[in-house]
Amino acid sequence: MATKEDILEQIVEEYLVHKGYFVQHNIKFLPRKDHPDYIQNKDSNHSDIDVIGYHPTLEGDRKVLVVSCKSWQSGFRPASEIDAIENDKTKRGRKAWQAFRELTVPKWSEAFVTAVREATGTDRFTYVLAVAKVVGDKAVWESHSPFSEAIGGNPVTILTFRDMVLEIQSRLTTTLAATEVGRMLQMFHAAGIHVEAD
């Protein structure tokens, strides 16, 4: 039996499918061996892009959504994460930047953009950080210019589990959903269980 993706990845997929995107999972990338900063014993393990969504009819930055999923139960704290990255702090048992190497380390940023281009045919995209919830101001993360600069000037945004579920719920019909998560949300809907908008 195939390994199931993280529930947050499954919600991301359902959200993107509902919005008309084709979806790919777990696209591997790593720095090129001839990069001047390549270090064999540190850069030979692939990282992966959790989800890429490609929309056949949209144009511009929203045609391709490149999603990194962080399902941290305590929530995502944008200001704290940026502080930890900039000051080389350890969080969750490793250096904070390691969770965001594509936004913080040039050789990984280059590899990330290359992987997106190879998967989609374009290096124009929106980088989406999908999280369980945000604690604090998400604009602090979305407007942090070094992140956008690292990935070729592409925009960076945050999407929460709640936002995705509300969007999916608003589009649910009685036609059988395409994914297990979609069908589960249909059952919640049928049972009268809803996520309420603020």
| Beta strand segments in 63-105, E | 64-70, 90-91, 94-95
Whether 154 is in a domain gets the answer yes
Query: For residue 196, is it within any domain?
Result: no
Is residue 31 domain-resident?
yes
Paired tokens of 131 = 């999280």
pLDDT tens sequence across 17-63: 989 999 999 999 988 877 777 677 676 677 899 999 999 999 999 99
pLDDT given for residue 2 in this prediction: 40
Q: Has residue 170 been placed in a domain?
A: yes
pTM over 0.85: yes
Q: Is residue 69 part of a domain?
A: yes
Q: How many domains would you assign to the chain?
A: 1
Domain assignment present for 198: no
Per the domain annotation, does 82 fall within a domain? yes
Is 26 inside a domain boundary? yes
Cα 123–Cα 107–Cα 140 angle in degrees, nearest 5: 70
Distance of CA 51 to the CA centre of its chain: 6
Which residue range forms the structural domain that includes residue 65? 7-189
pLDDT in tens, 139-163: 999 999 999 999 999 999 999 999 9
